[in-house]
Amino acid sequence: MAEHNFQYGVDHLTSSIALQIAKGQTNGILSEQSKEIVKRSTSYVEEITNSERTVYGINTGFGPLCTTKISAADTKELQYNILKSHSVGVGNPIDEQIAKLMLILKVHSLAKGFSGIQLSTLERIVWHINNNAIPVVPEKGSVGASGDLAPLAHLFLPLIGLGEVYYQGKRMETAELFATTGLTSIELGPKEGLALINGTQFIAAHAVTVVDELHNCLQHADIIGAMMIESLLGSAKPFRDELHNIRPFKGNIHVAQNVKSLLKGSKILDSHLNCSRVQDPYSLRCIPQVHGTSRNAWLHLKELVEIELNSVTDNPIVLSAEDTISGGNFHGQPLALPLDYATLAAAELGNISDRRIYLSLEGKIEDLPTLLMNNTGINSGFMLPQYTSAALVSENKSLCFPASADSVPTSLGQEDHVSMGSISGRKALQVIRNLEHILAIELLCAAQAFDFRRPLKSGATLEACHAFVRTRIDHAEQDRIFADDIQKAHGIIQERALTNIFAPLQSEAPSPFKNLFEVY
């Protein structure tokens, strides 16, 4: 575990820090300050419970049962029932890291002291985080409005000895976890069941993952796009400052600067400065406008996610023993819309990437053979990888309908407008993971086309990127199982190898918005 400690409920959480905690690079703790805040909030709930006041979620039923008074004797049983009754998720389990992020985000929100959670409950959740005992959470079942009720209920079943967890490389019943570790069920206090399942942590954990994975795709799209510009003898003029300063979108300027940096020192560019071509196709010429717009969508999401990570999305909010608010901070709309926007941004990166792939195969560019292979006829060359990119692009288009455009009433009409943000988050990741494969295919074609520019050299960074690709994937002289090559290229993108090569150059000649477009 890293030496640095992040104080839940006190320090400012970002997507980057949340991921560092999830990966064990930063230690999340309940500091003495955090503990005092939590204890104060718990005392408020205890005072309400011992009074004659009726407060939603503390001594009443939930949702449409909000007018049903619950006796003090039944209040604790109610907390267990809510976890069991709301565990209605279906489908495959979500990624373990996303489930771990849900735990991290929930602890941070509860530790802010507006939820009446017991310190012992938070300490048990932190134990799960620190010991990688990650609950099994089904992917479907949340409508993203009264909090992510179903997935959060599954997330916290292990607190009361139910459900399943991943632990030490094995999926097991919580009873087996208890037998292995010596843990026992915790005793939930008033309001705790509701505090645990109310919130947007399923949506937010997906959003954190989207911020991270889409950023990686954006970085690679610029690098691979620049490699295609070189391979297809594209012009550097569309990336000049003078052009973008008169339409100064931050993302556009950042991408143009990235591409300029990647092309710096290129002898390939010098070789066709005086060619007869007037202008390039849009998939090359408009990289700043298209990639840049996707950057802007990513930035919008990153900024909103950071607000959400440091928010309280429980209900009711306990301000004091005398002051509680039953509101709607659990509604997922603030993230549902930008997640749908990010989905479209990711799909468009794939769309323009596929156009560059197709362009590289046409055989219309000087010294570049049709289908990127000399001996075609007996060989199909790189024709079929583009079929896969076309299929993935089409699939992504079908996933672009915004989930947030829909709402189906639930809870007997009490919850009559819902965000469907959980679906927005899941769809965004589907599109991004398809995009990774599209970019992998473009990387494969760009590297192959790049070889035909020899003996000319590109700039130092693109040469280093190409050389790295060639350590994993050989130039293709004849047909082979290209699925293997696609998987290797996909591995390069997931490892972030090319962005690590590019990062030092970005530091030397950064865009004015470099820091803005980092995952902090």
Averaged pLDDT for residues 326-348: 96
Residue 94: pLDDT over 90? yes
Q: What integer pLDDT is reported at residue 104 of this predicted model?
A: 98
Residue 92: pLDDT over 50? yes
Q: How confident is the model at residue 60 (pLDDT cuts 50, 70, 90)?
A: low
Residue 4: pLDDT over 50? yes
CA gap 37, 11 in Å, rounded? 13
Averaged pLDDT for residues 89-95: 98
Q: What integer pLDDT is reported at residue 200 of this predicted model?
A: 97
**Catalytic residue numbers?**
56
CA gap 484, 302 in Å, rounded? 34
DSSP, res 415: B
Q: How confident is the model at residue 39 (pLDDT cuts 50, 70, 90)?
A: very high
Q: How confident is the model at residue 77 (pLDDT cuts 50, 70, 90)?
A: confident
Q: All domains of the chain, ordered by start, with CATH?
A: 5-199 (1.10.275.10), 206-404+418-517 (1.20.200.10)
Q: Mean pLDDT in the chain?
A: 93
Q: What integer pLDDT is reported at residue 508 of this predicted model?
A: 66
Q: Burial of 403 by CB count in 10 Å (0-12 exposed, 13-18 middle, 19+ buried)?
A: buried
Q: Vertex 434, ends 19 and 227: CA angle to 5°?
A: 90
How many percent of the chain have pLDDT more than 70? 96
Q: Vertex 26, ends 204 and 92: CA angle to 5°?
A: 40
Averaged pLDDT for residues 352-379: 96
Q: pLDDT higher for 384 or 520?
A: 384
Q: Are 358 and 442 in contact (CB under 8 A)?
A: no
Residue 72: pLDDT over 90? no
Residue 480: pLDDT over 70? yes
Q: What integer pLDDT is reported at residue 3 of this predicted model?
A: 55
Averaged pLDDT for residues 111-131: 97
Averaged pLDDT for residues 349-355: 98
Residue 354: pLDDT over 70? yes
| Backbone angle region of 87, left / alpha / beta, with phi > 0 → left and psi within -120 to 50 → alpha | beta
CA gap 420, 407 in Å, rounded? 7
56-65, 125-134, 337-346, 457-466: least confidently modelled range: 56-65
Cis upstream peptide for 316 (omega within 30°)? yes
Q: Are 391 and 305 in contact (CB under 8 A)?
A: no
Q: What integer pLDDT is reported at residue 1 of this predicted model?
A: 43
Q: 3-state class of 434 per DSSP?
A: helix
- Which of 449, 515, 42 shows the shortest CA–CA distance to 228? 449
Q: What integer pLDDT is reported at residue 426 of this predicted model?
A: 98
Token code pair at residue 56: 């939603």
Q: Which residues contact 207 (CB under 8 A, 6 or more apart)?
A: 15, 301, 305, 308, 335, 338, 339, 425, 428
Residue 470: pLDDT over 70? yes
Q: What integer pLDDT is reported at residue 65 of this predicted model?
A: 58
Residue 62: pLDDT over 70? no
Beta bridge partners of residue 5, listed in sequence order: 27
CA dihedral sign, ordered 315, 321, 322, 323:
negative
How many percent of the chain have pLDDT more than 90? 83
- The C-alpha R_g of the chain, in whole angstroms, comes to 26
50-59, 113-122, 239-248, 416-425: least confidently modelled range: 50-59
Averaged pLDDT for residues 360-380: 96
Q: What is the pLDDT of residues 436-455, one digit of tens each?
A: 999 999 999 999 999 999 99
Q: How confident is the model at residue 278 (pLDDT cuts 50, 70, 90)?
A: confident
Q: What is the pLDDT of residues 141-188, one digit of tens each?
A: 999 988 899 999 999 999 999 999 999 999 999 999 999 999 999 999
Residue 46: pLDDT over 70? yes
CA gap 357, 364 in Å, rounded? 13
Q: What integer pLDDT is reported at residue 421 of this predicted model?
A: 95
Task: List C-alpha distances in Å: 87 to 80, 137, 158, 256, 311.
Answer: 11, 9, 12, 48, 24
Residue 382: pLDDT over 70? yes
Q: pLDDT higher for 414 or 373?
A: 373
Q: Give me the amino acid identity at 294.
A: S
